[in-house]
Copies of this chain bind each other. A is one copy, B any other.
Amino acid sequence: MTTRELVGAPSFDPRTGLASATVPESTDAAVADAVRVAEGAAAAVAAASPAERRAWLRAVAEGLEAHRAELVDLADAETALGPERLDGELTRLQGQLAFYGDVAVEGSYLGVTIDGATTGTPRIVRVNRPLGPVAVFGASNFPFAFGVLGNDTASALASGCPVVVKAHPAHPRLSVRLAEVAREALRGAGAPDGTLGLVVGMEAGAALVGAPGIAAVGFTGSQAGGLALRRLANERETVIPVYAEMGTVNPVVVTPSAVAEPGAVDRIADGFARAFTLGMGQFCTKPGLLFAPAGSGLAAATARALEALAPDPVMLTRGIAQAVSDGLAALTAAGGRILHRREGTTAGWAAPTAVLEADVDELARGSRLLEECFGPVALVVEYGDEAELSGALSRLQGCLVASLFAAGGADPDAARILGWLTPLAGRVAVGDWPTGTATVWAQHHGGPWPATSRPAATSVGAGALGRFVRPVAYQSVPDAWIGPEADPANPWGLPRRVDGVLQPG
């Protein structure tokens, strides 16, 4: 028995900073048990057809609907993100669950490839197979969309892997309820026991990553957290992949032609202020650094826009609130000059809101100015010419999203600047702020190190399933021993490549 059996994970109200309840932390035995039942379910979850797994995911979405009011209230009590936003996010979560089920049924993720069907060479059938139980560490900032049942969990289940979630300390009660609601729905839909598990507590999370039965890890959160889990995974006897989406500073570039349009400066400044304070700035896709043409007045305009918006943030956790103040001090020490700063007034986890500016020369490699300040804080840097801009961009870390504001398709500089942004980012947007991440086939929510630990992987969109499978090549194996994927009659209507030729399903 370890000491953590004696304490619970407190559930805080960010608006007051007071704990209203605690949730029992998982013992070592409870973690081992969660992994054991997940391992026990793995073969059945893998053997279920994509259509069966889609039915499970749809049942979970329906189960959420039946508890909508309760779940939104609980989420708001633990996150202070507001009922309207959370209601919308719950609807988004339901859409995600349905989407990943549809992607599974479409079947491209299985990568079925058959050689030797007609060529007389040995028959080789390649099929992607589920890795096994996946540990999921959800994010604080999207309690539904990236929470217990979020993108990682839904894509892992869709790909045929049981999931054990580690409850987020920012919303432990919601995490427990989401798992209960989902497990009831899964049971009702015929999914095996052990398809979804939950553990609570930081030590439990570490034990989960170290458990031999866990085959992969999905994580969304801070760089410190993601890298710590990656280290744990690398120390295992059998090293497993850690898909950590850690976020960094997402840059925005405004071209000279873009600010030359009438009203553009105020419009861009207003959009920027709204984008970096959306959700109290607690987005991994928050635009944190805007490059403005020298003399454009965008920095001052952003300060005015922020002042007019007058946000009064309540942050998700005490730690995040403190990190905003600390981050502002560090940014100032690194050469940032505050253009506008407003203190938070809430009795709970208040944080300041601020926009800073800095000279482009200050953006040296390793400078704090190039690191994320998670919260409603952003930096504006003016560039004199393209050489200054490209030099500064070359010193940025990898990021999830980069945005470019240009004067339409005829902007003389835009394509060139886009070419400098692309190597930095998993997604590049033109004329859009980076904050929206649609759950679609073409989405890529990833980005070069250290934005993510596996830049080729995505945690949002159809590609997310590919993280939790590995190919197996079956050579001269009777089709019946492989399964419906290899059946020449193609009963699941899968897209397949046969003797090199791609055949849609």
Contacts and interface: CB of A to CB of B under 8 A. Distances in A.
B449 A240 contact: yes
Contacts of A239: 449-450, 453
A322 interface: no
B442 A124 contact: yes
Given A429-B477, A432-B476, A502-B504, A471 B495 contact: no
B453 A471 contact: no
14 contacts: A113-B442, A121-B438, A121-B440, A124-B440, A125-B442, A241-B454, A415-B478, A422-B472, A425-B472, A430-B476, A430-B477, A432-B476, A444-B472, A502-B502
A166 interface: no
Contacts of A441: 113, 115, 126, 497, 499-500
B238 A477 contact: no
Interface stretch (A191-199, A311-319, A333-341, A455-463): A455-463
Interface in A82-130: 106, 108, 113-116, 121-122, 124-126, 129
Contact of A238 (B121, B398, B466): B398
A480 interface: yes
Interface in A420-447: 422, 425-432, 438, 440-444, 446
A263 interface: no
A469 interface: yes
A471 B426 contact: yes
A443 B438 CA distance: 34
Contacts of A470: 426, 446, 448, 455-456
B422 A475 contact: no
A246 to B, nearest CB: 12
A481 B426 contact: no
A411 to B, nearest CB: 9
A414 interface: yes
Contacts of A438: 115, 121-122, 124
Contact of A504 (B429, B432, B503): B503
